[in-house]
Structure 1
Amino acid sequence: MDVTGEIALPENVEMVMPGDNVNMEGKLITPVALEKGSKFAIREGGLTVGAGVITEVL
């Protein structure tokens, strides 16, 4: 399922490079059922630019 959204990096992080780990918050434009432990991918222009695991649902 593809859902558009935005991510917010922590204040002290300007950019994330391959191999880096970061905690971030994401906000989706469409309500979607999410659960802790689910995997997700971040795509831009048809390319996967990031991937992660949901650690907390706010």
Structure 2
Amino acid sequence: MKFTNIIRFVERFDHYKQDLSKFIKGFNDFILTQHNVVLNFIKYINNGIDSKFSVRAKE
């Protein structure tokens, strides 16, 4: 009886492990996309600041 329980537990654990790796992969993809969004936003702000200063400098 115990042996079949162990096998069942191992099967379930393997299933959970697959779900966990899927979750981690999804989480990593999410972080990467958010990171790109943040980087682009920072670039956008920096470009805006640069263009404002360069316009003032030309005047």
What's the TM-score once normalised by structure 2's chain length?
Answer: 0.13
Greater share of helix residues, 1 or 2? 2
Higher relative contact order (CA 8 A, sep 6+): 1
**Which structure's CA Rg is the greater one?**
2
What's the TM-score once normalised by structure 1's chain length?
Answer: 0.13
Greater share of strand residues, 1 or 2? 1
